[in-house]
């Protein structure tokens, strides 16, 4: 008996594009501490509506939310760094925010590879 595998080429293309966006966000985190993460973010916004109704849609939302929450924490860290007392606390906030976003990117790409949606 032969198994038949049905492949949706558009879904595969959308999944591959989301995979590259995860890598873009990750590279931005590694090389610029997230400063250039707005570039893949723009593509997330552009692709999210196109992937509505698929599990890939949740990954775009996941990356968008990860970006904005990371930005909130970085801005908080910047305000803390403006005070002498807040500098050590700012360093802690930056570190935790970076680790949190790294976790979300790793979890997201792992779930994307397993064809699982993200619970946003």
Q: pLDDT tens-digit profile of 38-59?
A: 999 999 999 999 999 999 999 9
Alpha helices in 8-85 (DSSP H): 9-32, 38-48, 55-81
Instruction: Identify the pLDDT of residue 106.
Output: 96
Task: Tell me the pLDDT band of 33, cut-offs 50, 70 and 90.
Answer: confident
- Distance between CA atoms of 108 and 101, rounded to whole angstroms? 10
pLDDT of 90 higher than 90: yes
In the Cβ-directed half-sphere of 49, how many Cα atoms lie within 13 Å? 3
Task: Tell me the pLDDT band of 2, cut-offs 50, 70 and 90.
Answer: low
- Distance between CA atoms of 93 and 99, rounded to whole angstroms? 10
Task: Tell me the pLDDT band of 102, cut-offs 50, 70 and 90.
Answer: very high
- Distance between CA atoms of 85 and 55, rounded to whole angstroms? 45
Task: Tell me the pLDDT band of 95, cut-offs 50, 70 and 90.
Answer: very high
In the chain, what percentage of residues exceed pLDDT 70?
Answer: 93
Task: Tell me the pLDDT band of 112, cut-offs 50, 70 and 90.
Answer: very high
Instruction: Identify the pLDDT of residue 71.
Output: 95
């Amino acid at each position: 008996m032969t198994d038949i595998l049905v492949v949706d080429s558009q879904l595969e293309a959308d999944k591959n594009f989301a995979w590259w966006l995860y890598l873009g966000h990750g590279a931005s985190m590694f090389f610029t501490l997230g400063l250039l993460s707005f570039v893949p973010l723009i593509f997330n916004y552009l692709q999210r509506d196109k992937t509505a109704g698929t599990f890939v849609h949740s990954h775009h939302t996941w990356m968008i939310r990860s970006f904005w929450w990371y930005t909130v924490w970085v801005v908080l860290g910047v305000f803390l760094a403006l005070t002498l007392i807040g500098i050590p606390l700012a360093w802690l906030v930056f570190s935790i925010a970076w680790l949190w976003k790294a976790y979300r990117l790793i979890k997201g790409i792992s779930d994307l590879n397993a064809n699982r949606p993200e619970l946003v």
